[in-house]
Amino acid sequence: MSTLCLYRLALIPYHSWVTHSNWTLHDLGSHILRGERYMVGNIIYTRQLGIDIIIINSETIARELLNKRSAIYSDRPVIRTNELAGMAFNTALLPYGETLQRHRTIYHQVLRAEASASYHEMYTRQASELVIDLLDASADPHNLTHTCDRYPACLITAVTYGHIARRDGDPVLGRLHELANIINRVITAEKAALFTAFPFLEKLPAWCFSGDYALLERSRELCQQLLNEPFNEVKEQMAAGTASQSLVADFLSQADDDADEHMMKAIALTASLAGSESTAATIHTFILAMVLYPDVQARARAELNQVVKHDKIPSLHDRDSLPYLEAVLREVLRWSPVVPLGLPHATSEDDVYDGYFIPKGTVIMVNQWALSRDEDEFPDASRFDPNHHLTVDGQLKDRHTGNLFVFGFGRRICPGRWFAMDALWIGMAAILSVLRIDHAGDLNGKRIEVRPEFTAGVSVRPQDFACSFESINAAREGQLRAMINLK
């Protein structure tokens, strides 16, 4: 969930990842003093509201500090708005210590790559719904955004709780969506700065606040509902012998005590929130790229049709045989990182890097946008080109999926990355196997132009755009409709 990268305070503007990338173009390796900011090569230092902040624009440096020195680079900064919004349970927000380590142990138990494989049928069913929903959403930008949001939310709640979402008006999905919207409004850099500068504000009663601040209480209420109600429903189903396969059910079958249950509640909701938003944004970006780069779309579909019979739908078992489609997925993640400045780390001890002192408590941010625009690694980096990830003979470069920089670094790397990649791959494969994506037309039949424009903020996704979806394989479409009992 993109709720953490909050030290881009009012002094650092939206789309600041672009600004931070540009700073490093000046006199690489020199010191540039600008008030309380200076730059040394691909490291930027700034101090705001008494907080030391380092922004890293190099994957090599990020891996040196956050991976190799992870013992002292794995803490999180204290951000008061997170707790005020009821989000202190969130695994990604926890300070480095015993509780976080226990959370991650449970994550590795229930979210390991082997566990993801046991949910492949569930992935395929939800991807089938995505394709049919996209056909219905064609040419309506708002419906497209809603459909992109619905796919991961349905999938993640099914995998996590065994919850089969209603087609319309599902209460669990509704609360998750409401909470995500509130978090994106109330947990912002500006509000974090306000509570940091004026801590007495925390003592004021709720009625003193208006606008977005008044939503903090509702956020706390939603967090408690979502922590407890879906989890307790699974417990009741297990007692009655009616529980479906899910991460929570698998965990409860081997839980040691109530303390573990408390942690699993937090892990389950963290996964639901984090996975829903990032996966939705990535699917949305994929569709945008397919509109803008029809040659890529055609090549990916041709590869798919060569491997998968025309009357069969693709499955995750086909993934290793489709290197170009895998490259498309990796390129979507690179072309528009969902959280461009990543999630902030903090140092738990003083350190020295390349002769420069980094004090304890320094906030460390990796500018994923800068990493994605590294021309040495990705020539013509602003262009969407899956060949960035392929060798000259069309095979994937030796770069393991789980190590992609978009999943973070060190002991804070995303523990659900295997689930995320499976969900994204099967969604993209299902779309390409049945649908042709193109520009939409207006009422006069004129093509509606689409620009690669993205939202601003802690996390980003494409701004609403219109496109069209045409079914090009009746046999596969029929199988998808049969799978979800649609006529």
The model's confidence at residue 84, banded by pLDDT at 50, 70 and 90, is confident
Q: How far is CA 305 from CA 163, 299, 436, in A?
A: 33, 10, 13
pTM value is 0.89
In this prediction, residue 24 carries a pLDDT of 45
User: Which residues contact residue 45 at a Cβ distance below 8 angstroms, ignoring those fewer than 6 apart?
Assistant: 37, 38, 39, 52, 53, 54, 55
In this prediction, residue 17 carries a pLDDT of 53
Is the pLDDT confidence value at 430 over 90?
A: yes
Report the C-alpha gap between 75 and 363 in whole angstroms.
9
The pLDDT tens digits of the residues spanning 124-150 come to 999 999 999 998 876 577 789 999 999
The model's confidence at residue 27, banded by pLDDT at 50, 70 and 90, is very low
Which of 278 and 210 is assigned the larger pLDDT?
278
The model's confidence at residue 51, banded by pLDDT at 50, 70 and 90, is confident
Is the pLDDT confidence value at 168 over 70?
A: yes
Is the pLDDT confidence value at 65 over 80?
A: yes
Rounded to 5 degrees, φ, ψ at 39 are -130, 135
Contact 454, 13 (CB under 8 A): no
The model's confidence at residue 158, banded by pLDDT at 50, 70 and 90, is very high
Is the pLDDT confidence value at 44 over 80?
A: yes
* Average pLDDT, integer, range 370-380: 94
The pLDDT tens digits of the residues spanning 441-466 come to 988 889 999 999 998 877 899 999 99
The model's confidence at residue 72, banded by pLDDT at 50, 70 and 90, is very high
Q: Which of 14, 11, 10 has its CA nearest to residue 458?
A: 14
- Residue at 49: amino acid letter: L
Q: How far is CA 25 from CA 41, 346, 369, 418, in A?
A: 9, 26, 14, 35
User: Which residues contact residue 283 at a Cβ distance below 8 angstroms, ignoring those fewer than 6 apart?
Assistant: 130, 148, 151, 152, 424, 427, 428
The pLDDT tens digits of the residues spanning 341-364 come to 888 999 999 999 988 899 999 999
Pairing of strands 363-366, 51-56: parallel
Sign of CA dihedral 378, 383, 386, 387: negative
In this prediction, residue 309 carries a pLDDT of 94
Rounded to 5 degrees, φ, ψ at 177 are -65, -45
Mean pLDDT of the residues in the chain? 85
* Average pLDDT, integer, range 268-297: 95
Q: Which of 23, 287, 7, 330 has its CA nearest to residue 140?
A: 287
**CATH H-level superfamily of 16-483:** Cytochrome P450 (1.10.630.10)
What are 306's two structure tokens?
């060569």
The residue behind tokens 């829903």 is 276
Which of 183 and 160 is assigned the larger pLDDT?
160
In this prediction, residue 487 carries a pLDDT of 41
In this prediction, residue 33 carries a pLDDT of 32
Burial class (CB in 10 A: 0-12, 13-18, 19+), 354: exposed
Q: Is 414 annotated as a binding residue?
A: yes
In this prediction, residue 199 carries a pLDDT of 74
In this prediction, residue 115 carries a pLDDT of 72
* Average pLDDT, integer, range 416-436: 95
CB atoms within 10 A of CB 353: 14
What are 426's two structure tokens?
């099967």
User: Which residues contact residue 422 at a Cβ distance below 8 angstroms, ignoring those fewer than 6 apart?
Assistant: 116, 119, 120, 123, 316
- Residue at 61: amino acid letter: I
* Bridge partners, 257 (sequence order): none
Range name among 2-11, 77-86, 369-378, 394-403 with the lowest pLDDT average: 2-11
What is the Cβ-side half-sphere exposure of residue 361, based on CA atoms within 13 angstroms?
6
Q: How far is CA 379 from CA 76, 386, 387, in A?
A: 34, 11, 10
In this prediction, residue 4 carries a pLDDT of 29
Q: How far is CA 371 from CA 55, 56, 113, in A?
A: 12, 9, 26
The pLDDT tens digits of the residues spanning 190-207 come to 676 677 777 777 667 666
Report the C-alpha gap between 336 and 57 in whole angstroms.
16
In this prediction, residue 200 carries a pLDDT of 74
In this prediction, residue 189 carries a pLDDT of 64
